[in-house]
C-alpha cells in the first residue's frame, strides 16, 4: 500500500469482520454485456537485487487479515492451519498475480468470492482468477493454507520467519521470512494494514502488532487472540508470536498503550533486567519524540520470549527480544519505530538507514541517561583498525550476506555523528525530524537522505557521502 492509497474504511471493515462481498462493488463481477477484459500476468519479483524472488508486481496489497490456528507439536515443529484474506488493488489489468509463500501448502484460493486457479512452486504462488482483475478495482483474495512448521534460517544462517518452539513460535521476519507463515507481497515498499486472529491451545497467549481487539475468547479448549495494527506496515515487521505470555498494559506519552508480553519461563535474572528496561519505554518514547518528532504508531511495547533466535527485532509497535531485553537494545528497537518502521528502506542495500539511525539513537539515549557520550562512542568506533570489515564493506551496499554487519550499525551511527559535525547541530536536528516525517509510512533511499541533508544544510554533501557511505575504506579526510 502506498500512503496515497490508504483506505481506512477497508481496515475498519476487516476489523468488523465483514466479508469480501460486503466490501463494495469492486467485489462483484463485471456485467455480462461488456467485452472480455484482457489482462497480463503480474510479475513475481519486486525488483530488489539482493532478493531475486522477493515480492511481486502488478498490484498494491492494501490489507491482510490473517487467521492462524496453531498447535505446537514438539520443540522444533508445529502445525499451522490458516486463512489469509487480502484486499489488493491492481496497478494494471491482471490475468494472474503472484504471492510469496514457502514451506506450506495451499488448499484453495478464491478471488472476490469465486474459486480461482493457482499454482504453487518454489515459494511462488500464482493465482489465476476466473476473469482478469481490472486495473484499480479492488479485489478480495482468500487463501486457505497450512502444514507443518519448522525452524527456518535466512541466507546468513540465522533463525527467522515462523520459528517453532516448545511453547509456541517466535516470529521474526527480517529480511524475507514473512512467506514462511503467510502468502504475501514480500516487498517492504508494499506496506499494508494488518489484522490477526490467532487461535492457540488454552493457556498459551498469542501476541502480534498493534492493539488487542476484544478479550481473548476460549472455546473447546482453544483461545483466540485478535490484534490490529492500524498503521501501514512492511511485511518484515509483522509478528504473531505464541508462548506462555503474561500481557500487561501501561500508558505512554499521549496516552498510547504500551503493551508488554513477557514469557513466564524467562529466568528470574532475565525477567528483572527486562522489566527494568521495559519500564523505561515511556521515557524513551518521550525523549525520542522530542528529537525525532511524534511517535508514529498507535501503540508500543515489547515481547520478551524465553526462546531465542539470537537477536532482537523491531517488529512494528511491539519489538521482540530473545530471552532478555537490555536497556540499550530497547532504546535501539524503540528508535527503529521512527527509523526503519515508519520510514523503511526502499532497497535492502539501504539497511544502514535503519541500523545506523537506531544505533545512533541508542547512543543518544545512553548519553541522556548519564552513560557514555555520543562523542566517546563515535571515537571508539573510529578507532577500529583500517583492516576491519567495518571499513572494507560498502556501507550503503553491503551485500545480502552483510545486512547486519558492523559496517551497517556502527559505521552507520558514526556517519550520522560526522554528518552532524559537518552540517552543524541545528541542521542535523532538523534533518532527524524531517527524515522521520517526510517519508512516514513509506520508503526512502540513501540518495533521498543525501538530498534532504543538502537541502536543509545548503551544502554539497556528495563527497562526504561518497567517503562514508560508498567507499570501502576507513575515511581519513571528509
- Where do contacts with ligand ARG occur on this chain (CB under 6 A)? 154, 156, 158, 160, 174, 311-314, 332-333, 355, 404
CB of 243 to ligand ARG, least distance (A): 19
Alpha helices in 28-79 (DSSP H): none
Position of minimal CB gap to Zn ion:
358
Residue 174 interacting entry, from Zn ion, ligand ARG, none, C-beta within 5 to 8 Å by type? ligand ARG
The DSSP bridge pattern shows strands 319-322 and 217-219 to be unpaired
CB of 467 to ligand ARG, least distance (A): 24
Does 355 engage in binding with Zn ion (CB under 5 A)? yes
Find, among 367, 305, 358, the residue nearest to 334 by Cα: 358
When the beta carbons of 48 and 355 are compared against Zn ion, the nearer one is 355
Q: How far is CA 289 from CA 225, 338, 427, in A?
A: 30, 9, 17
Residue 211 interacting entry, from Zn ion, ligand ARG, none, C-beta within 5 to 8 Å by type? none
Does 350 engage in binding with Zn ion (CB under 5 A)? no
Residue 187 interacting entry, from Zn ion, ligand ARG, none, C-beta within 5 to 8 Å by type? none
Task: Identify which range of 187-195, 211-219, 320-328, 358-366 contacts Zn ion by CB under 5 A.
Answer: 358-366
CB of 153 to ligand ARG, least distance (A): 9
CB of 50 to ligand ARG, least distance (A): 13
Residue 305 interacting entry, from ligand ARG, Zn ion, none, C-beta within 5 to 8 Å by type? none
Q: Which residues contact 80 (CB under 8 A, 6 or more apart)?
A: 68, 69, 70, 104, 146, 147, 148, 149, 162, 181
Task: Identify which range of 47-55, 75-83, 288-296, 349-357 contacts Zn ion by CB under 5 A.
Answer: 349-357
Among 358, 413, 416, 450, binds Zn ion (CB under 5 A): 358
Taking the C-alpha atoms of residue 64 and residue 182, their distance in angstroms, rounded to an integer, is 10
Find, among 371, 365, 356, the residue nearest to 420 by Cα: 356
Taking the C-alpha atoms of residue 402 and residue 441, their distance in angstroms, rounded to an integer, is 26
CB 231 within 8 A of CB 344: no
User: How many of the other CB atoms lie within 10 Å of CB of 251?
Assistant: 11
| Binding residues among 286-345 for Zn ion as defined by CB under 5 A | none
Q: How far is CA 244 from CA 3, 220, 317, in A?
A: 36, 19, 20
Binding residues for Zn ion, rule CB under 5 A, total 2
| Binding residues among 46-65 for Zn ion as defined by CB under 5 A | none
When the beta carbons of 39 and 345 are compared against ligand ARG, the nearer one is 345
Residue 313 interacting entry, from Zn ion, ligand ARG, none, C-beta within 5 to 8 Å by type? ligand ARG
Helix axes 352-368, 327-336, angle to 10 degrees: 130
Residues engaged in binding Zn ion (CB under 5 A)? 355, 358
Amino acid at each position: 500500500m502506498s500512503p496515497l492509497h490508504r483506505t481506512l474504511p477497508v481496515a475498519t471493515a476487516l476489523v468488523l469482520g465483514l466479508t469480501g462481498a460486503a466490501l463494495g462493488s469492486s467485489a462483484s463481477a463485471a456485467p455480462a454485456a461488456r467485452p472480455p477484459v484482457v489482462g497480463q500476468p503480474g510479475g513475481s519479483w519486486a525488483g530488489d537485487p539482493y532478493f531475486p524472488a522477493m515480492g511481486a508486481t502488478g498490484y498494491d496489497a492494501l490489507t491482510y487479515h490473517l487467521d492462524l490456528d496453531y498447535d505446537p507439536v514438539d520443540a522444533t515443529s508445529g502445525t499451522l492451519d490458516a486463512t489469509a484474506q487480502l484486499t489488493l488493488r491492481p496497478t494494471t489489468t491482471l490475468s494472474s498475480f503472484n504471492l510469496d509463500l514457502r514451506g506450506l501448502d495451499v488448499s484453495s484460493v478464491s478471488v472476490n468470492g469465486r474459486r480461482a486457479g493457482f499454482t504453487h512452486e518454489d515459494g511462488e504462488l500464482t493465482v489465476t482468477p476466473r476473469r482478469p482483475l481490472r486495473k484499480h478495482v479492488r479485489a478480495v483474495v482468500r487463501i486457505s493454507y497450512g502444514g507443518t512448521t519448522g525452524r527456518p534460517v535466512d541466507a546468513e544462517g540465522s533463525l527467522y520467519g515462523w520459528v517453532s518452539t516448545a511453547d509456541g513460535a517466535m516470529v521474526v521476519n527480517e529480511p524475507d521470512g514473512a512467506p514462511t507463515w503467510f502468502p504475501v507481497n514480500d516487498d517492504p515498499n508494499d506496506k499494508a494494514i494488518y489484522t490477526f486472529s490467532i487461535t492457540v491451545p488454552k493457556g498459551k497467549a498469542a501476541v502480534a502488532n498493534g492493539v488487542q481487539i476484544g478479550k481473548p475468547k476460549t472455546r473447546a479448549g482453544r483461545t483466540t487472540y485478535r490484534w490490529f495494527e492500524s498503521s501501514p506496515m512492511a511485511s518484515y515487521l509483522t509478528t504473531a508470536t505464541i508462548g506462555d505470555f503474561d500481557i500487561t498494559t501501561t500508558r505512554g506519552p499521549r496516552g498510547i498503550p504500551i503493551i508488554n508480553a513477557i514469557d513466564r519461563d524467562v529466568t528470574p535474572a532475565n525477567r528483572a533486567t527486562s522489566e527494568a528496561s521495559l519500564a523505561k519505554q515511556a521515557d524513551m518514547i518521550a525523549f525520542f519524540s522530542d528529537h525525532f518528532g511524534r511517535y508514529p504508531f498507535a501503540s508500543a511495547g515489547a515481547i520478551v520470549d524465553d526462546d531465542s533466535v539470537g537477536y532482537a527485532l523491531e517488529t512494528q509497535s511491539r519489538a521482540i527480544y530473545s530471552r532478555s531485553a537490555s536497556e540499550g537494545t530497547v532504546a535501539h528497537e524503540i528508535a527503529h519505530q521512527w527509523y526503519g518502521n515508519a520510514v523503511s528502506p526502499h532497497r535492502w542495500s539501504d539497511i544502514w538507514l535503519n541500523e545506523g539511525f537506531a544505533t545512533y539513537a541508542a547512543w543518544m539515549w545512553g548519553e541522556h541517561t548519564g552513560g557514555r557520550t555520543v562523542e566517546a562512542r563515535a571515537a571508539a568506533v573510529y578507532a577500529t583498525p583500517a583492516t576491519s570489515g567495518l571499513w572494507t564493506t560498502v556501507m550503503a551496499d553491503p551485500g545480502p550476506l552483510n545486512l547486519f554487519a558492523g559496517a551497517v550499525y556502527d559505521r552507520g551511527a558514526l556517519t550520522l555523528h560526522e554528518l552532524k559535525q559537518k552540517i552543524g547541530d541545528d541542521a542535523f536536528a532538523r534533518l532527524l525530524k524531517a527524515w522521520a516525517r517526510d517519508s512516514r509510512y513509506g520508503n526512502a533511499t540513501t540518495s533521498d537522505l543525501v538530498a534532504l541533508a543538502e537541502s536543509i544544510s545548503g551544502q554539497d554533501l556528495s563527497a562526504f557521502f561518497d567517503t562514508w557511505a560508498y567507499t570501502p575504506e576507513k575515511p581519513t579526510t571528509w
